């Protein structure tokens, strides 16, 4: 894991004990900090409380107390050493935040509405995330570079592609951040390595000192507006990635985002700016099977620009583009049955991210719907000529059906399983059945990954 002497002797409150939160607690305690942590989920608290380090740094071997049985009030878990190092699990709503150096929150905690965030603001306690802790730990790591990637759509694919190019070039690299790999849980890289971080706007909001050697903004379209005071505030959150950079570092920017939103307005003078749209690609996109569609052209251009900034040669870049296998739930071809391709694009949780998938194939049976983030499908409308039929599911199904009716044939099927069965009956050889929901998953699924897995399982039942 990544630790730092900068954490030693400090007292942190940690709210949220899922993947990044649990990794944060372990790194802080291993570095000699005191941690007071909490999660409303009793299973997450119980999973963290038994020491994964055998007592080292978790109370000098003191036995942590377990949760009570069902129906009992959960007890706190003090495991502090006599020196005040280690972990205690206590409801932070009942804790004096004024005693801590920082409140570390998971990106999913809504800073605009959560009462603990308001309490921290009132007491003057800094609110940070694990990316900021990584930024503070960089001084203790072997000499390295950091690439930060943000944007509304395409972040994960671009992050994975950059990592793949570096790996192909023989450059030590680690992925972390919003891609689902907590950066503090990673092993430190040797000298000359590159940390490749996917960064959501929420993570950037919790970061103050991350100076990326190369920062990337892919695009900005309306999203997550329940967390921001309008679209401009959301765009400004993304733009802070550039404001944290040092002069002479590299900024790779979507031209439209700069032209319309001035995302470089607060960037330092002397930043080396390159616009994604003007990056030439080393070869034909048709030769890169996992990078099809206009959205992946932009992702590839951004990754190429990063690789060039890091000194990777064109031949290696082209070889990496050809061998990239893509990510699950992002334009993932999961099967071809009777000449019909089945594509899992469950990660497309808004119309802007679904639109490129619709543009990538000529005859599409489109499965869409879920917990919608707005009533329109405007970004998708230019590509409806490629849609043979739409199958709407979930909470937003009726609204999407109303938008599409009269433009394409629509079946309101409510569930993903029904959509798969009906599409299998109607699709012809050469067609594509595309799950690209243009909506979040939380009405029927835990997350987009579970939705994609359910799609795969339903398709496998057809075989």
Catalytic center residues? 155, 178, 224
Strand order in the sheet with 173-177: 173-177, 193-198, 144-150, 214-217, 250-253, 272-275
Beta bridge partners of 336: 341
What are phi and psi for residue 170, nearest 5 degrees?
Answer: 80, 20
Residue 131, token pair as written in the block: 């990316």
Give the total residue count for the chain.
Answer: 463
Rounded Cα–Cα distance for residues 215 and 249 (Å): 8
């Amino acid at each position: 894991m990544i630790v730092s002497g900068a954490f030693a002797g400090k007292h942190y409150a940690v709210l949220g004990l899922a993947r990044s939160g649990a990794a944060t607690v372990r790194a802080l305690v291993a570095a000699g900090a005191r941690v007071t942590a909490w999660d409303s989920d009793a299973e997450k608290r119980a999973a963290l409380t038994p020491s994964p380090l055998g007592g080292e740094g978790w109370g000098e071997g003191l036995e942590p107390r377990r949760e009570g049985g069902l129906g009992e009030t959960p007890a706190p878990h003090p495991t502090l050493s006599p020196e005040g190092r280690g972990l205690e699990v206590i409801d932070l709503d009942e804790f004096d935040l004024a005693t801590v150096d920082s409140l570390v929150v998971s990106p999913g905690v809504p800073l605009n509405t959560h009462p603990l965030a308001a309490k921290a603001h009132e007491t003057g306690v800094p609110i940070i995330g694990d990316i900021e802790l990584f930024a503070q730990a960089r001084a203790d790591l072997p000499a390295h570079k950091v690439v930060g990637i943000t944007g509304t759509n395409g972040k994960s694919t671009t992050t994975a592609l950059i990592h793949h190019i570096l790996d192909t070039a023989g450059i030590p690299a680690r992925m972390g951040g919003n891609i689902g790999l907590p950066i503090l849980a990673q092993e430190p890289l040797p000298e000359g390595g590159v940390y490749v971080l996917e960064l959501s706007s929420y993570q950037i909001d919790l970061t103050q000192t991350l100076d990326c050697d190369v920062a990337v903004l892919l695009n900005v379209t309306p999203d997550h507006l329940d967390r921001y005071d309008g679209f401009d505030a959301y765009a400004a959150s993304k733009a802070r990635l550039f404001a944290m950079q040092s002069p002479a570092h590299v900024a790779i920017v979507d031209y439209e985002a700069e032209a319309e939103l001035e995302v470089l307005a607060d960037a330092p003078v002397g930043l080396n700016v390159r616009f994604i749209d003007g990056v030439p690609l080393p070869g034909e996109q048709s030769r890169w099977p996992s990078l099809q569609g206009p959205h992946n052209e932009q992702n590839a251009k951004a990754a190429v620009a990063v690789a060039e900034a890091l000194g990777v040669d064109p031949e290696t870049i082209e070889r990496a583009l050809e061998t990239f296998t893509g990510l699950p739930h992002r334009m993932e071809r999961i099967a071809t049955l009777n000449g019909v391709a089945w594509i899992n694009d469950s990660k497309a949780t808004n119309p802007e991210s679904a639109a490129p998938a619709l543009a990538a194939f000529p005859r599409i049976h489109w499965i869409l719907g879920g917990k919608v983030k707005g009533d329109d499908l405007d970004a998708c409308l230019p590509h409806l000529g490629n849609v043979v039929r739409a199958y709407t599911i979930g909470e937003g199904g009726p609204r999407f059906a109303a938008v599409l009716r009269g433009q394409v044939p629509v079946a309101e099927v409510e569930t993903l399983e029904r959509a798969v069965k009906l599409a299998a009956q109607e699709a012809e050889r050469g067609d594509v059945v595309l799950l690209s929901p243009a909506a979040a998953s939380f009405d029927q699924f835990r997350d987009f990954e579970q939705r994609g897995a359910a799609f795969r399982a339903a398709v496998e039942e057809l075989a």
